[in-house]
Structure 1
Amino acid sequence: MDGKPGGRSSKSLRPEDSPDTSFFSNPWMGDIVSDWSPMHEAAIQGRLLSLRSLINQGWPVNLITADGVSPLHEACLGGHVSCANILLKHGAQVNCVTADWHTPLFNTCISGSLDCITLLLHHGASPHPVSDLASPIHEAAKRGHVDCVEILAAHGGNLNLNISHLGTPLYLACRKQQVACVKKLLESGANVNEGRGLDSPLHAVARASNGELAILLMDFGANPQARNADGKCPLELVPPESPLTQIFLEREGPPPLLQLCRLQIRKCFGIQQHHKINELFLPEELKRFLLHM
């Protein structure tokens, strides 16, 4: 292995090599397999003219490495929407999966390219993970790509998908202290109390001593009395002398009736609450209250 992206083999194919003799068929993957190729190089570097030239020379768009990486994977990882577009137009498989269960959509959630994710979804990319080892919405939430989280949710991505080693997207965003993603997930109807096992998002925020996120979660109905597997509530996880302790103490006792009403109304709308509430024929002041604005 050398310095090629993803640690791939240093052996590569030259454009002048004949495609008929440079690749071999893999009956298990059903595609053409090669080492790291000029197609992959052009895609990861965003070299549209080179990519178009290679395609015109007869290089296959679904050429994959031994670990299943296609040029489309690389274009999406680099956030190169023009390269992704030409590959898709020439028949690139939008839901192809690598040996690590990465789809082009998952790679786009790494790069955070809104244009790429829109393009892939338009061409039929599934927002649902093939494996728990590579969930697009978890990856976007973890990295703080709020636009990716929003569009995945709008296309049916499961906001409450609970993966045993990661938890929910909301829990992961809280652990990584991605405030904008936490807010977007809550606005879209993510379950505020569902985390990883008995550990809630509020438990994660308490450990990080993040007052902004703690207030946000409790405003959306997080339960400060929830107990994790160790029998501890969030307050018991706050670092000593943290100002977050005072915030929790101020929130002791039942929420005000107005807050309870707001939470119950929002609950009735389920997923995509933000959009549904905006469409109601209600006074703007009431809408803003329901939307936490």
Structure 2
Amino acid sequence: MDEEGMNQNGSKSQGAGGQVPATTPSEVLMRDFVSDWSPLHDASIHGRLLALKKLINQGSDVNLVTADHVSPLHEACLGGHAACANFLLKHGAKVNGVTVDWHTPLFSACVSGSVACLNLLLQHGANLHPPCDLASPIHEAAKRGHVQCVELLTSHGMNIDHNINHLGTPLYVACENQQVDCARKLLESGANVNSGKGLESPLHAAARSCSVELVMLLIDFGADIWAKNAESKRPMELVPPGSPLGLLFLQKEGPLSLMQLCRLCIRRCFGHKQHQKITGLLLPEELKHFLLHV
């Protein structure tokens, strides 16, 4: 946004003769003062660390927010600028600030896919549980294919099967957006392969997108090919009968092999964080690779 014609509080109003009215120091330093935009936000979103340091040293409030309650920390994380986020946090930025859209800095970091910003926020006490289901960090990371963000969030204890009415589970979101690597990471971490959005399973979402890779991945992790959605349709009924995916479903209609049943049973016993637990078992590497779907 053009900074000309704006006062220090980010207001677009001007005094007589087009002159920008003066702003008192008390107004500049007022915490949580609402503004449309500020040089501090601009420096944060663009990763201008030197400018950010200068503004803060001159007395700018690190928690200055826009009319939508967007803070400089939100902007730094949205831009993926860890150095700026770190400086703001060290100078008292609110790690759990919420915008009018319920976005937290943690959510913004998942939008940008910045693992560095995510790490910083978690180290400074960022809340893993979103204040509102309209903005869930792990769902956003899964939607955008940010595998490392998903892995970091789950390793810190975020609910891997958090089911939101209008979104479903993170696994469902990953499948709906054809994010194969995220889906794999969620499954390796113990996500419920059959938990989706209402009666719609992740396999339904993969079938709708005609993703052979996703369908094979889900079935390999024990997805129920007979599950019916709200329209009483199985995943195989959502693809053209003669398509490669349709043929794949036909091949998988038979009973599971004993090896597959044993693998699924063992993985269910481990629950979440399966990858880490299986790796530490005193078993032959070949067997561990089988359990890990390598």
Instruction: Please give the TM-score of this superposition, normalised by the length of structure 1.
Output: 0.92
* 1:33 shift after superposition: 2.2
* 1:280 shift after superposition: 1.2
| 1:252 aligned counterpart, secondary structure | coil
State the alpha-carbon separation in 2 of the partners of residues 35 and 19 from structure 1.
18
- Aligned equivalent of 1:137: 138
State the alpha-carbon separation in 2 of the partners of residues 40 and 241 from structure 1.
55
State the alpha-carbon separation in 2 of the partners of residues 183 and 78 from structure 1.
27
- Aligned equivalent of 1:248: 249
- Aligned equivalent of 1:28: none
State the alpha-carbon separation in 2 of the partners of residues 14 and 127 from structure 1.
32
- Aligned equivalent of 2:8: 13
State the alpha-carbon separation in 2 of the partners of residues 239 and 23 from structure 1.
63
- Aligned equivalent of 2:19: none
State the alpha-carbon separation in 2 of the partners of residues 23 and 261 from structure 1.
63
- Aligned equivalent of 2:83: 82
- Aligned equivalent of 1:67: 68
Residue type of the alignment partner of 1:13: Q
* 1:52 shift after superposition: 0.3
Contact 2:77-2:112 at 8 Å conserved across structures? yes
* 1:253 shift after superposition: 1.7
State the alpha-carbon separation in 1 of the partners of residues 26 and 137 from structure 2.
35
Instruction: Verify: 1:99 aligned to 2:100, yes or no.
Output: yes
- Flag structure 1 segments of 5+ consecutive residues without an equivalent: 5-9, 26-30
- Aligned equivalent of 1:224: 225
Cα deviation, 1:85-131, whole Å, max 9, x if unaligned, reads 00000011111111110000000000001111111111111222110
Contact 1:209-1:242 at 8 Å conserved across structures? no
* 1:239 shift after superposition: 3.3
- Aligned equivalent of 2:50: 49
State the alpha-carbon separation in 2 of the partners of residues 281 and 20 from structure 1.
65
- Flag structure 2 segments of 5+ consecutive residues without an equivalent: 11-21
Cα deviation, 1:141-181, whole Å, max 9, x if unaligned, reads 00000000000000011110000000000000001000100
- Aligned equivalent of 1:38: 39
State the alpha-carbon separation in 1 of the partners of residues 255 and 211 from structure 2.
22
Q: 1:12 to 1:142 in 2, by over 3 A?
A: farther
Query: % of aligned pairs identical?
Result: 64
- Aligned equivalent of 1:200: 201
Q: Which of these two proteins has the greater Rg computed from alpha carbons?
A: 2
State the alpha-carbon separation in 2 of the partners of residues 230 and 59 from structure 1.
56
State the alpha-carbon separation in 1 of the partners of residues 40 and 184 from structure 2.
39
- The 5 A counterparts of 1:234-273 are 234-239=235-240, 241-273=242-274
Instruction: Verify: 1:171 aligned to 2:172, yes or no.
Output: yes
| 2:236 aligned counterpart, secondary structure | helix
Alpha-carbon RMSD across the aligned residues, in angstroms, is 1.8
| 1:13 aligned counterpart, secondary structure | coil
Contact 2:73-2:85 at 8 Å conserved across structures? yes
State the alpha-carbon separation in 1 of the partners of residues 30 and 93 from structure 2.
18
* 1:24 shift after superposition: 5.7
Contact 2:69-2:99 at 8 Å conserved across structures? yes
* 1:34 shift after superposition: 2.1
Cα deviation, 1:222-255, whole Å, max 9, x if unaligned, reads 0000000110100000135421001100001211
| 2:263 aligned counterpart, secondary structure | helix
Residue type of the alignment partner of 1:275: Q
Residue type of the alignment partner of 2:8: L
Contact 2:241-2:247 at 8 Å conserved across structures? no
